[in-house]
């Protein structure tokens, strides 16, 4: 398996008291053995690792996968059980966040009583939270594509252009620069639609006097970027400007507060308390952020419910928002890495108030 990642996973197995671990989730599979295809199983035991995939991925796996054995199956689950049985793996852990109940039932039926299954959840969730230098480099690269692509499409953001057109141009600009896929369906929400925190780009045309919120990202070698910008299209109402300033301040305060060792819920509270103090508590309904890595939303959730400490090397987003039905909304998002004494931003588009000139 890749570098020291095999050691981390084996420590986890030891702590859980299992002979083997079966991984079906692609991000963990990629993290541990490098496979970037869309179907496969990784079995990790104390003394070996086996990667199983089908004929479509046989040669890709040979070139890509870091495992002791690569096995091509005709029937995934039958072969998985055969391998576990032949290798005398009896106490088998699995990723409970990923395996469906249907799959679990099928495996249990195939294995009958020869295997005891142990669901593992939290411990596996935190496997990928501390990013290595190489991972940070890829996350930075993905973030820099955001910066360049956004600069390219900025002149297109003007009255009469549809939200969807902006999303499409951004997608092209990111892919032209080497972005692998869009990290998610881009949110381009203007005017009243800005009140939809997940307002996927529509056919609505931008208009003078509106705010537009653009939430987008891409992927480089599996690692994602995630960033949100809110811009004013010409002169906007005083109350929209006030909301913008509140969200920006909440974003800045949260960034300044980042320290390893603080509880994640305390970080969420920095932004939430400020927004509440300004009278907008009920309009900030989501968590402050989330982890970013091989998945665009991954552990840790930066929310009021997360009582874990923030740790150096975690990569999280800081994305407060205020959404007022019938009026509009603002979200401002950066992705940052937690450092020994604070944070370093990965995303780099300036977030201060920007009023686009309109004719």
Burial class (CB in 10 A: 0-12, 13-18, 19+), 109: exposed
Identify which of residues 28 and 317 has a Cβ nearer to Zn ion in the complex: 317
In the complex with Zn ion, which residue's Cβ is closer, 182 or 228?
228
Q: Near Zn ion by CB under 5 A, which window of 128-136, 234-242, 316-324, 343-351? A: 316-324
Binding Zn ion by CB under 5 A: which of 19, 135, 171, 215? 215
Q: Which of 83, 135, 226, 268 binds Zn ion (CB under 5 A)?
A: 226
Q: How far apart are CA 161 and CA 170, in angstroms?
A: 13
Please identify, using beta-carbon distances, which residue of 191 and 217 lies nearer to Zn ion: 217
What x-and-dash track marks residues 49-88 binding Zn ion by CB under 5 A? ----------------------------------------
Q: Which is nearer to Zn ion, 73 or 216 (CB)?
A: 216
Beta-carbon contacts of residue 234 (< 8 Å; ≥ 6 apart):
159, 208, 209, 355, 356, 357, 358
Distances (CA, A) of 149 to 48, 174, 180, 336: 44, 5, 14, 19
Residues contacting 12, CB < 8 A, separation 6+: 21, 120, 123, 124, 127
d(CA 173, CA 193): 24
Nearer to Zn ion, 99 or 348 (CB): 348
Size of the site for Zn ion (CB under 5 A): 5
Question: Do 235 and 209 form a contact (C-beta atoms < 8 A)?
Answer: yes
Residue with tokens 């780099």: 348
84: tokens are 């576990």
Question: Do residues 251 and 212 make contact, with C-beta atoms less than 8 angstroms apart?
Answer: no
CB of 187 to Zn ion, least distance (A): 7
State the minimum distance, in angstroms, from the CB of residue 280 to Zn ion.
20
Select 34 or 321, whichever has its Cβ closest to Zn ion.
321
Question: Closest Cα partner for 252 from 329, 320, 197?
Answer: 320
Nearer to Zn ion, 95 or 319 (CB): 319
Answer yes or no whether residue 317 interacts with Zn ion by CB under 5 A: yes
- Shortest Å, Cβ 226 to Zn ion: 4
Position 268 contacts Zn ion (CB under 5 A): no
DSSP element (H, E) containing 7: helix 5-16
Question: Counting contacts by CB under 5 A, is residue 163 touching Zn ion?
Answer: no
Q: Which stretch binds Zn ion (CB under 5 A): 28-36, 202-210, 303-311, 325-333?
A: 325-333
User: Would you tell me which residues interact with Zn ion (CB under 5 A)?
Assistant: 215, 226, 228, 317, 333
């Amino acid at each position: 398996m890749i570098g020291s990642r095999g050691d981390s996973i084996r420590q986890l197995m030891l702590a859980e008291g299992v002979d083997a671990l079966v991984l079906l989730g692609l991000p963990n599979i990629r993290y541990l053995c490098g496979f970037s295809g869309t179907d496969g199983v990784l079995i990790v035991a104390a003394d070996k690792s086996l990667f199983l995939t089908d004929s479509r991925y046989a040669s890709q796996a040979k070139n890509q996968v870091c495992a002791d054995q690569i096995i091509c199956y005709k029937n995934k689950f039958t072969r998985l059980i055969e391998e576990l049985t032949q290798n005398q793996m009896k106490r088998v852990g699995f990723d409970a966040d990923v395996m469906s109940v249907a799959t679990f039932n099928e495996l249990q039926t195939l294995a009958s009583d020869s295997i005891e299954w142990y669901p593992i959840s939290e411990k596996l969730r935190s496997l990928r939270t501390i990013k290595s230098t190489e991972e940070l480099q890829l996350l930075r690269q993905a973030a820099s594509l955001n910066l360049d692509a956004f600069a390219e499409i900025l002149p297109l953001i003007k009255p009469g252009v549809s939200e969807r057109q902006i999303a499409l141009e951004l997608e092209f600009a990111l892919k032209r620069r080497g972005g692998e896929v869009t990290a998610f369906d881009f949110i381009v929400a203007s005017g009243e639609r800005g009140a939809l925190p997940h307002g996927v780009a529509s056919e609505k045309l931008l208009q003078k006097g509106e705010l537009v919120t653009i939430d987008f990202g891409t992927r480089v070698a599996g690692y994602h970027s995630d960033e949100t910008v809110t811009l004013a299209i010409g002169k906007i109402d005083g109350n929209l400007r006030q909301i913008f300033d509140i969200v920006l301040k909440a974003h800045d305060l949260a960034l300044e507060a980042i320290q390893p060792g603080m509880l994640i819920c305390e970080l969420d509270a920095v932004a939430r308390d400020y927004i509440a103090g300004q009278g907008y508590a009920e309009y900030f309904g989501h968590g402050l952020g989330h982890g970013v890595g091989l998945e665009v939303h991954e552990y840790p959730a930066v929310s009021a419910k997360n009582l874990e400490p923030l740790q150096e090397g975690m990569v999280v987003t800081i994305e407060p928002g205020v959404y007022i039905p019938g009026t509009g909304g603002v979200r401002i998002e950066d992705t940052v890495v937690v450092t020994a004494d604070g944070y370093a931003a990965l995303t780099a588009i300036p977030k201060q108030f920007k009023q686009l000139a309109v004719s």
